[in-house]
Amino acid sequence: MDAILAQLLNGLDKGGAYALIALGLTLVFGTLGVVNFAHGALFMLGCFCAVVFRYLLTIETVTVDPTQLSPWGAPVEVRTPLVQSWLGDWGAFLVDYSVPLSVIFAVPVMLVIGIVMERGLIKHFYKRSHAEQILVTFGLAIVLQEIVRSFFGANPVPQPIPADLRVAADVGVWFGMEAYSVTYPTWRLVYLLFSAGVIGAVFAFMRFTTFGMVVRAGMADRETVGILGIDIDRKFTIVFGLAAVVAGVAGAMYTPLLAPNYHIGMDFLVLSFVVVVVGGMGSLPGAVVAGFLLGVLQSFASMNEVTSIFPGIDQIIIYLVAIIILLVRPRGLMGRSGVMES
């Protein structure tokens, strides 16, 4: 029982990241009709938003303090981040919580990146074939990736978890089990809640705002919305920016779990595409359900009891499920009929 609960949490956690990336991917596909292979790169840029934010916060002054001596008698260099010397304890708090706070930094940055990308390149590809869309966004992903590498190098850049959240949470107690039977890293729980929150926010935005209503109408029938006098292209540009923001914040919060390097996006891209296809191209709830489902499946498949029967199943379960779903139910779990079926 406790093993199952632990694996369930693991899976939901992983699924949260998949769902967030897939959400943006399917949003772009549903509105703009563009297959965006650069979406993984947006996730990666989000990761590096966190890195840059921390770098900015920890610009430090180095002073030599003659009163303090190191064990071999030399004066110690004292490094104080500028933020700390300006703001005192508040500054120390900022540095400690750099990762969650970087989300605030990532939102405007990713919005601008997304809008520039859409206006600069993607908008010329609405009328072209899906193959060409895949190709151009794949090229763009390479470019973004290499730009990041030329600034940050090829090595992963680890990001710390805030000190207060480094402890393990005693999850078992919440479910009426004995104390310390199931413990789980707090940051992973935070990530799970965060992804649930972002997903909820996106759905609320699409559901309850006029903007969301127009966008949903545009997804259903672009032409009619245009005839009604609404500049649907402009709305869709913002949707692309929104998708970039969702991918970006997903990346920024993920940095303590997996140290980002320049090709982290490519690693997630394939998986999130599989998630979108399983959920149904262009279906928002499908992407979320499929994301969590595949995450949970993957973590259950990696249990010892399962791998002893089917060795290696944990490596391929996601692809296997995707293949079966595509062959049996090509429009995915919750896809609308007629989308991309030929």
Number of residues that bind other proteins (CB under 8 A): 41
Nearest residue to 84 (alpha-carbon basis) of 108, 58, 106:
58
Binding mask 247-266 for other proteins (x = CB under 8 A): -------------------x
Residue span 303-342 as binding mask against other proteins, x where in contact by CB under 8 A, dash where not? --------xx--xx--xx-xx--xx--x---------x-x
Q: How far is the CB of 134 from other proteins (least distance, A)?
A: 7
Return the structure tokens found at 32. Answer: 């703009």
Least separation in angstroms between residue 91's CB and other proteins is 33
By CB under 8 A, residue 116 contacts other proteins: no
Strand-strand pairing, 183-185 and 168-170: antiparallel
Are the C-beta atoms of 334 and 276 separated by less than 8 Å?
no
Give the nearer residue to other proteins in terms of CB position, either 185 or 282: 282
CA distance 143 to 80: 36
Q: Residues with Cβ < 8 Å from 230, sequence gap 6 or more?
A: 214, 218
CB 252 within 8 Å of CB 17: no
HSE-CB at 335 with a 13 A cutoff on CA atoms is 23
- Restricted to residues 13-32, the positions that interact with other proteins (CB under 8 A) are none
In which element (H, E) is residue 67 found?
A: strand 60-69
Q: Which of residues 129-168 bind other proteins (CB under 8 A)?
A: 130-132, 134-136, 138-143, 145-147, 149-150, 154
Task: Using the minimum distance from each CB to other proteins, give the nearer residue, 87 or 266.
Answer: 266
Residue type, 219: M
CA–CA dist 142, 263 (Å, integer)? 9
Give Cβ neighbours of residue 40 (< 8 Å, ≥ 6 apart): 21, 141, 265, 266, 267, 268, 269, 272
- Ranges within 265-284 binding other proteins (CB under 8 A): 266, 270, 273-274, 277, 281
x/- contact string, 117-136, with other proteins (CB under 8 A)?
----x--x---x-xxx-xxx
List of residues contacting other proteins (CB under 8 A): 35, 121, 124, 128, 130-132, 134-136, 138-143, 145-147, 149-150, 154, 266, 270, 273-274, 277, 281, 311-312, 315-316, 319-320, 322-323, 326-327, 330, 340, 342
